[in-house]
Chains A and B, each alone.
With several copies, the nearest count.
Chain A
Amino acid sequence: MTTTTTAGTFRAYSRHIALGDTVIAYSSPKTITYITVTADGEFCNSYGGFPHSSMIGKEWGSKMPSKTGKGFIYLLYPTPELWTLSLPHRTQILYQPDISFVTALLDLRPGVKMIEAGTGSGSFSHSIARTIAPTGHLYTFEFSRDRYEKANLEFSEHGLGDIITIQHRDVCVDGFDMSDMVDAIFLDLPAPWDALGAAKRAFKRKKVGRICCFSPCMEQVLKTCTALKELGFVEIQMYEVLLRPYDVRKVQKRSFPKLGDAKKGNAGAEKKRKAAEAVSDSDVPGGEKTSGEDHTTTLHVPLNEELITSKPQAEVRGHTSYLTFATLLPQELPVRR
């Protein structure tokens, strides 16, 4: 009825934190880091220390006070998306809206065999692994040795070694060295057109294949489209996806100052009439200067009438990348029964 923990937190949900697990230390939506739980480790932030030993056995999602009691963190389960948010930005990461949409349009699901190049921070690799596990496989390629080594270690620490194979390789020069093997390909490369020939060979010959090229600039898109077309890819489509986050707040409903209120003698108008009647010192035409904020004296504000309003956040992400998708039709027609 409940899932059992396999090696590595990332492979499946568990109920409680165990030694060796990756834990997301969540303080606020903007303050998210990750911890690998060791027997005698301690996580520290400005509010004090959080011993790893006290984390073990706690339910995921628990609120944990610091030793000093001054602050707390939430111990969150490392979904690929939270893990991505917790990364120090080593390289440009893929954002969740793109990851989600690419996953949908490449028809990723358990069992899919797939290529990714480059691996980068491994952020999308984790998402892919989550979606194609337990029966699919990801072949991911990274040009930078540093990043390759870091990602390779992470995949195995996270229990994804049997789902992900990573290679250190410049695919634009050396290709993938794979043929008739995969259902889907994702290319996040500065010059994806150099890898498209090799990509075509890697697709299963009797299946329909889907590819996505991720490029920030329009010039790259134009070149990619030309190359895709020349290689016989069809249904070339290009999209942009963005998320618009909203802020929500309650505002006081202010009723309009009633005409003729001055006559009926509300406090503000009363005050003004008296001032006017006196005509002593403050007799500038137009009268008293009131600050722009102080509306209370002249208005009837019915109390407690609130309206919940929302509006998009002031500054939002305006662009991540253009997502160019294409289909490769079966290169061998399957034999009909």
Chain B
Amino acid sequence: MVEMAEKMEVDTPETTQSETPEGVPNLPSALDIPDIVDDGAIIAENSWAIVQMPSDNTKLVQFKANSVVNLGKFGSFHAKDLFGYPFDMPYEVYGDKQVRPASMNIYALDAFDLETEEGTTNKDLVDRREAQKLSQVEIEQMKADSLKGQVPVENLIKTIVENSETFDKKTEFSKAKYIKRKQKKFSKVFTPRRPSARGLCEHFFKDNPRRICELRVDTLSQILTTGNVRSGARYLIVDEAGGLLTCALVERMQGRGEILQLHDHETNNVDLIKHLNLPPSIHNVLKSLPWTRLTPNDDEDMENMLIRTTDETRLDRLRHRILTTRAKRALLYAGGFDGLFIISQYDIKEIIETLSPYLAGSRPVVVYSPYKETMLESFLHLRNSRDFVNAQLTESWIREYQLPTAASGTHPLMRMSGSGGYILSAIRVIDCETHAATARRVRVKNGKVAEVKSTGEEGVEQEHA
């Protein structure tokens, strides 16, 4: 357990993407990554966690060696005290910024002596204030004891409930609500969840949905299945959802395969990936190429370039950058990708037209957007195209229930998410009447034609000016 924890290091994509600066860089592909499912289950120095608080709100936190994690009114604790403990189980803040695994009794609370009494109604309880036998002083004393770790939180709450004069007259529903309220008020139990694409999706969908293009977890799950995402495959991706979709792909690939990202600007904004606590090797599957470099730019023309420096180190870096860019472009032109994933504010139809030639036959294109209207034209395009079959436009719908375990009746939650976005998908096909069997001519936007041989396992790029 300890060894595993010590192996963990947090690393951002920026640092892991730097390659050896000599000659044509080998784009690293990590094939023999150890099974990391178990490794990540333990909290280590610099681990990120999605901390779920008693209020059910979540907070994205990095556990640094010297940091004190502040949960607001729920208290604070020294991060290092959790190193070596598992993620995803409840811990309790007590005493002076101390922390320990929480008693399992906290979960028993919501059911205790709440047998069903159907007769009780809330008719006569409206507008009546709660009557409590304990004095405020007594309650404060118990709170202090609980904080010091002398009284378990569940006992505190149980005592308060038992001393409520109105509690018995409440309906089941009101009782459950009452306990939940007290729990939120007194409990200092939190769960540091191990970040995953799902966890990040749930966290940001609540906390800052715009950051992830309002992509909801069920919709994300549909994208992965529709795209047949698996370890060892090679994907093309345009991810303007902060990197959430990239996170999901990386997680399902676990270091095997390849992801080529097309993006705006010179650097790729897939910030969220740093929260996944992945070993650096995992990041090797990720490569990125800006849209503006799909064809060679003048600044890659080293021979005719005005160079003001004579510093060899800088010149090496320049050479390296140019060669890396060329290698990535060659990777794209080689084609034969196993899936194309798009979340973008740009015209979806143009992106599909530009990138679908690089998809292998019978591979899916999957597009997500929070606005259906932005995909309607592309849907018609895919449905009418000879290059695609099975075009579909869907919306995922999800409903969560309140369950009888919460000591009141069973029904769907009274509030739900209105929308989790829309998915457009289709499967790339090879229409033999328009495509030669052995080679297919790929029309690139600026009029150049790249011929891609698809007879062997290796796509060979042959560029004609």
Contact = CB atoms under 8 A, between A and B. Distances in A.
Per the CB under 8 Å rule, do A and B touch in the complex?
yes
Interface in B72-118: 83-90, 101, 104, 107, 111, 116, 118
Interface in A65-98: 65, 74-77, 79-81, 90-91, 96-97
Contacts of B308: 277-280
B390 interface: yes
Contacts of B87: 208
Interface string A94-128: 00110111011101011110000010000000010
A182 B360 CA distance: 36
Contact of B218 (A111, A241, A278): A241
Given A216-B409, A220-B409, A248-B380, A337 B84 contact: yes
B154 interface: no
Interface in B342-385: 345-347, 350-351, 354, 360-364, 370-374, 376-377, 379-380, 383
A272 B399 CA distance: 48
Contact of A251 (B220, B234, B371): B371
A36 interface: no
A217 B401 CA distance: 11
B432 interface: yes
A317 B376 contact: no
Contacts of B400: 237-239, 318
A81 B209 contact: no
A303 interface: no
B145 interface: no
A70 B408 CA distance: 48
Given A63-B433, A336-B84, A243 B222 contact: yes
Contacts of B389: 26, 74
A39 interface: no
Contacts of A292: 242, 269
B246 interface: no
Contacts of B297: 262-263, 269, 272-273, 276
Interface residues of B, number: 158
Interface string B397-416: 11111011100111111111
Contacts of A1: 234, 258, 331, 334, 336, 458-459
Interface string A266-286: 001100110011111001011
B292 A272 contact: yes
Interface stretch (B35-43, B63-71, B131-139, B160-168): B35-43
Contacts of B126: 90-91, 144, 146-147
B2 interface: yes
Contacts of A179: none
Contacts of B334: 1
A61 B416 contact: no
A309 B232 contact: no
A201 interface: no
B224 A133 contact: no
Contacts of A229: 111, 405
A238 B401 contact: yes
B393 A133 contact: no
A241 to B, nearest CB: 5
B446 A259 contact: yes
Given A131-B252, A317-B416, A277 B363 contact: no
Given A217-B408, A243-B394, A315-B417, A277 B299 contact: yes
Nearest to B421: A311
B399 A222 contact: no
Contact of A29 (B314, B390, B414, B415): B390
B254 interface: yes
Interface in A273-308: 273, 276-280, 283, 285-290, 292, 295, 298-299, 307-308
A242 interface: yes
Contact of A289 (B17, B41, B267, B427): B267
A262 B398 contact: no
B299 A254 contact: no
18 contacts: A13-B363, A81-B226, A96-B225, A110-B252, A136-B37, A190-B171, A225-B403, A232-B107, A234-B107, A244-B395, A250-B380, A251-B371, A256-B346, A257-B264, A276-B305, A277-B299, A279-B307, A337-B2
Given A60-B361, A318-B414, A337-B6, 9 more contacts: A26-B389, A76-B362, A207-B86, A208-B89, A259-B295, A312-B418, A334-B42, A337-B1, A337-B83
Interface of A: 1-4, 12-13, 15, 26, 29, 58-65, 74-77, 79-81, 90-91, 96-97, 99-101, 103-105, 107, 109-112, 118, 127, 130-131, 133-136, 143-144, 146-147, 183, 190-191, 206-208, 216-222, 225-226, 228-229, 232, 234, 236-246, 248, 250-251, 253-263, 268-269, 272-273, 276-280, 283, 285-290, 292, 295, 298-299, 307-320, 322, 324, 327, 329-330, 333-337
